[in-house]
Structure 1
Amino acid sequence: MAVSPTIFPQRRRRPSPTSFLSPQFSTIDLLRSLYLISSDISSLDPPRFLFKRNSSSIIRKCSILSMIFEDVLRQVNDLRFLSPSSLLCFEEMFIILQRIRTLIEDCSNDGSKLWLLMQIEPISGTFHELTLDLWTLLEILPEKELNLSEDVDELRNLVIKQCREDKSFVDPNENWLRCEVLSMLDSIKKEIVPNHLRLVELFSKLGMSDSASCRDEIEWLEDEIQCQNDEKSKSDVVSLIGLVKYTKCVLYGASSSNSSSFSDENYQIRRNYSSDMNIPADFRCPITLDLMSDPVVVATGQTYDRTSIVLWIESGHNTCPKTGQTLAHTNLISNRALKSLIAMWCREHRIPYTAAENSEGINGVLLNKAAFEATKMTISFLLGKLGSGLLPAVMVNWVVYELRVFAKTDSDSRACIGEAGAIPLLVRYLGSEYPKLQINAVTTILNLSILEANKDRIMEIDGALNGVIEVLRTGATWEAKANAAATIFSLCGVSAYRKRLGKKTRVIKGLLELAREGPTSSSRDALVAILALAGDRDTAGRLVEGGVVDMVKDVMGNLPEEAVTILETVVKKGGYVAIVAASHLIGRLVATLRNGTDRTKESAIATLVIICRKGGGDFVAELARITTIEMVIWELMGTGTARTKRKAASLMRILRRWAAGLEGDILEEFSMTVALQ
């Protein structure tokens, strides 16, 4: 694995030290700063795992420097007017000391130990370069101006000698560890399983000896990807992530100190924190209102979560869900700036952000050969455990959770899990008496369903679809039911499957019950699935028979956008029966025109136009009886979106023709519209 020498150090930089050297700083201030920073460095402990000898050597030198500056400060009254060359030398020395402190802290602080290990040559070279810089500055410093005591001058000469004789040093033990890592990655590329004893030894030397420390290392490596500028370095980091994930699952499993309840923190992946925290509006997907994991920009300039907008488009829609505009194309552009902001916000609030891993790989970097083979080996190990049937419930829960995480990561992982036969094994636990295990099982199937080939498997494998539907109807928790509904929505991305699902009474009843009775987040998942099903004309009729209009009435207060959008689709596809069923909501739709969001107003005005055109004069008369209707329509014609203005103008024409006794024209216009469709 080639390593770029310019990669480290780039993170956790302090403010530029030149801010301390502004004109208002006197010579005394400068000397005091030099004494303080050299004392600070001398008090640092060397890093525990890597670069211990390099750091210890330069810390000892800075300890001697602090004594020199302390002696200089005693003579401060005689040093007020140092020569410009001496001042410049001191200023440069401050900058070098600042760099030394930052380098040692970067090697000591929390961060990826494996990536640090990969940089041993350039980092060791940086220690050597800084030592040579100190030597140069001490050599050119005019010693007569300093008036050092004899003992202190000897110390100065000692530091000069040590710096001059310093050699670039790479610790042999650290170099061995690096070679071991590279050797293991090469073996994995060749589909050779790494030696587990060597893995244990390697990870122990780096301070990773349990599942929790491996999870921390994975998070740091994922952060490290954002710090790299070239694709080769990013790809190298992805390889290391694959190795750590393999080690965590195969060697340590759920071995953290809280293994019996390890999932308590990790289960807060999607909704648990959504209801408890005030997520910035720009971080929520306009479709699901959940925290976006992979924000992408569509042709209209709006941003959505990739999974949500892909499923929307695959469901047969060619419009922007937020604006209603027809999409000029369906290309999706990653919004990397927003993704970085979301990841930063999640770290600050201690929210797991596995969402940085998406269909493009890890943080947008495709899996390379080593990472892919490591993923295959890990998944094979997990499925072997799951298929044995000998695990206690807590271990089964851990295995399924790990599969859930892999299924969320990228398309390659989803393909590996599906091809390895995971779905029949997961079906066993959809009816589990353990709520968390049921949640993990159905969520894993949901994540797998993003891949087209896995949609086919879920629909065709015996018991898979029925298991998901049963969770939707009788799941132990709202979260399990909501993820079952989300799975139905995902499967609707295939037109043939949408028709099949729409013919199942249990699916329609389950979604309507969840939408009506569930908490807001769960209800929203059900509504999104209902909207996808309503796109099929036959299914729209079944939804009306099942009571979708009454459900819309019940949820319109909490989720108006979703409710009104479903109503628009149903009256458009469901025929006259749907018009009649929706007619008693005319008053509520008019209220929405006054108080709703732009998106809600668009759907509400479009729904009213359809009801009046398809329903005839009786429905127009009911609308006309609302005294404020014309004023509301005029307002929308002036301030609404482009689509709202068009629909408002159409509704105004309908009302005017009805008032003039030209009801036949309305029906004629409707007939022409149907013919054009």
Structure 2
Amino acid sequence: MVFSLRGKKCSKKGPKNELLEGNINLELTIPTHFRCPISLDLMKDPVTLATGITYDRESIEKWIDSGNLTCPVTHQMLHDLNMVPNHSLRKMIQDWCVENKSHGIERIPTPRIPISAYQVSQICLKIVDATEQSDEEKLKGLIRKVKVIARESEKNKNCIVENGAGRVFAGAFDSFASLSMEKYADLLKRILSVLAWMFPFGEQGLSKIGSRTSLQCMVWFLKGEDLSGKQNSVIVLKQLLSLDKSYANKLMEIEGVAETLIKIVHAPISPAAMKASLVVMYNLMEGNEKVMESFVDMGLAQIVIEVVVDGEKSMSEKALGILDQICNYPKGKEIASSYALTMPVLVKKLLRVTELATEFTVSIMWKLCSKNHENLVVEALQVGAFPKLLVLLQVGCVQSTKEKVTDLLKLMNLYKDKVECVDSASGFKYLKGSN
């Protein structure tokens, strides 16, 4: 049985009678009604369902979250999922723990009751009121309160998100940014720190955080020296564009956005900020050649290749996604193909990052090697691309990637005689027989 005994081990003496061994070799029986009917452990936070049966909160929440809508003991349908804290039983369990302290049993602390949807709605009303009154200090206090509640449990955080807190905080951010970014910089930074984990928060919330004023304020933070404001701004922008790319054009209209995002990648303040910046740039460039060219002119192709060299898997995947987009355009393809590290890095990363990263890598190689780029095909052969591509073809991949791999292998077959180090006769034989 799992139980806190300050270094003492628990022993199970029978199917119906669990025993704890104290430090004086006395056996202590846990009262049956103190144990959760699901886990059979001593209850830390007993709650009673509408069926009248009491469970430990953690156990019954897991049961319900798994899709079970019946009472585990009575098998009745749970039409009411409210859980009422059983304070009397919890007090009895705590008293029992204190009485048996000499046996190494620790008192179970009084649990914090999870926040309810109603309580969140009341907090939201106060946030709206503080915003309408331009009450900076009251709003700061509410932000502190929300952070404390969210830190208590993941359930609390989810409840806050699901009941509109993000929407009203987005409104507050837009409102105070409109009044004065400089005057309310500290408050705006604090709002961003909670907005960073409150997505999604509905169309109304998106329209507020995606307003020109809000976007200008976040770019203002990106250009500033405050690391917290800079990081949370780029994370919020990432979330915004990932949910709705229609805000991309509005963001690009703000002066200095592209340069600032590249600077965060080139000289990152944190891994989280760097990843977020890569995602923002990916969304800004997608399908927009003008934006793409502006990023390419600022040296983004070389920067992301260097990120791929040293970045961990998630970082490399995002950087490869951007490079794949860059190679959709002639100028971007030209710059990427002229960079000495490009092909060796791509071949090295094949099959070594993630499935999506491999798809990006194959796509980039296919774009670079097509249109009679003999030197790149030969270079790919020299650094060992052929056997890796053959393995990828054999282990399987999505159809679009499979087609590109086949094209690349056939193309390399034309230049195999120019590369002495390639020893893959059986591979080329396999290729000739494939369709």
**TM-score bin, normalised by smaller chain:** 0.5 to 0.7
Matching of residue 485 in structure 1 with residue 234 in structure 2: yes
Report how far residue 634 of structure 1 moved: 3.1
Report how far residue 658 of structure 1 moved: 6.9
1:72-471 alignment, distance < 5 Å = 98-100=31-33, 102=35, 110-111=44-45, 115=47, 225-228=61-64, 229-230=68-69, 232=78, 235-237=81-83, 372-385=117-130, 388=133, 392=137, 396-402=139-145, 405=150, 409-414=160-165, 417=168, 421-425=171-175, 427=177, 439-446=189-196, 447=198, 450-460=201-211, 463-471=213-221
Cα gap change, 1:390 to 1:21, in 2 (>3 Å): closer
Distance 2:296 2:273 in 1: 21
Question: Where does residue 104 of structure 2 map in the other structure?
Answer: none
Distance 1:418 1:383 in 2: 8
Report how far residue 582 of structure 1 moved: 1.0
Matching of residue 551 in structure 1 with residue 294 in structure 2: no
Cα gap change, 1:389 to 1:415, in 2 (>3 Å): closer
Cα gap change, 1:451 to 1:221, in 2 (>3 Å): farther
Report how far residue 568 of structure 1 moved: 0.8
Amino acid at match of 2:205: N
Cα gap change, 1:502 to 1:400, in 2 (>3 Å): same
Conservation of the 8 A alpha-carbon contact between 1:418 and 1:448? no
Question: CA offsets, 1:529-555, max 9 Å, x none?
Answer: 222222222332332223221220231
Equivalent of residue 533 in structure 1, options 276, 284, 309: 284
Amino acid at match of 1:400: I
How many percent identity over aligned positions?
13
Conservation of the 8 A alpha-carbon contact between 2:350 and 2:361? yes
Distance 2:385 2:209 in 1: 49
SS in 2 for 1:463: helix
Q: How many positions carry a matched residue from both structures?
A: 342
SS in 1 for 2:257: helix
Amino acid at match of 1:633: L
Report how far residue 605 of structure 1 moved: 1.6
Matching of residue 602 in structure 1 with residue 359 in structure 2: yes
Distance 2:362 2:14 in 1: 62
Report how far residue 560 of structure 1 moved: 1.9
Matching of residue 498 in structure 1 with residue 431 in structure 2: no
Conservation of the 8 A alpha-carbon contact between 1:414 and 1:448? no
Distance 2:59 2:168 in 1: 26
Cα gap change, 1:387 to 1:534, in 2 (>3 Å): same
Question: Where does residue 611 of structure 1 map in the other structure?
Answer: 368
Distance 2:182 2:306 in 1: 30
Cα gap change, 1:606 to 1:100, in 2 (>3 Å): closer
Equivalent of residue 638 in structure 1, options 369, 375, 394: 394
- Flag structure 1 segments of 5+ consecutive residues without an equivalent: 1-10, 23-28, 30-35, 42-96, 127-219, 241-356, 363-370, 661-677
Conservation of the 8 A alpha-carbon contact between 2:304 and 2:319? yes
Question: CA offsets, 1:194-245, max 9 Å, x none?
Answer: xxxxxxxxxxxxxxxxxxxxxxxxxx967753355538577424x99xxxxx
Conservation of the 8 A alpha-carbon contact between 2:275 and 2:318? yes
Matching of residue 564 in structure 1 with residue 320 in structure 2: yes
Structural RMSD (CA)? 4.5
Question: CA offsets, 1:114-139, max 9 Å, x none?
Answer: x45x789767xx9xxxxxxxxxxxxx
TM-score in terms of structure 2 length:
0.63
Question: Where does residue 294 of structure 2 map in the other structure?
Answer: 542
Distance 1:590 1:457 in 2: 44
Cα gap change, 1:110 to 1:19, in 2 (>3 Å): closer
Matching of residue 580 in structure 1 with residue 323 in structure 2: no
Task: Identify which of structures 1 and 2 has the higher relative contact order when contacts are C-alpha pairs closer than 8 Å and 6+ apart.
Answer: 1
Distance 2:58 2:31 in 1: 28
TM-score in terms of structure 1 length:
0.43
Distance 2:221 2:58 in 1: 34
Report how far residue 522 of structure 1 moved: 1.9
SS in 2 for 1:600: helix
Matching of residue 623 in structure 1 with residue 372 in structure 2: no
Question: CA offsets, 1:62-84, max 9 Å, x none?
Answer: xxxxxxxxxxxxxxxxxxxxxxx
Distance 2:135 2:176 in 1: 15
Distance 1:450 1:497 in 2: 16
Amino acid at match of 1:226: K
Conservation of the 8 A alpha-carbon contact between 1:449 and 1:487? no
Question: Where does residue 653 of structure 1 map in the other structure?
Answer: 410
User: Greater Rg, structure 1 or structure 2?
Assistant: 1
Conservation of the 8 A alpha-carbon contact between 2:34 and 2:42? no
Conservation of the 8 A alpha-carbon contact between 2:235 and 2:273? no
Report how far residue 401 of structure 1 moved: 4.0
Question: Where does residue 182 of structure 1 map in the other structure?
Answer: none
Distance 1:516 1:17 in 2: 62
Cα gap change, 1:378 to 1:632, in 2 (>3 Å): closer
Report how far residue 456 of structure 1 moved: 1.6
Conservation of the 8 A alpha-carbon contact between 1:593 and 1:601? yes
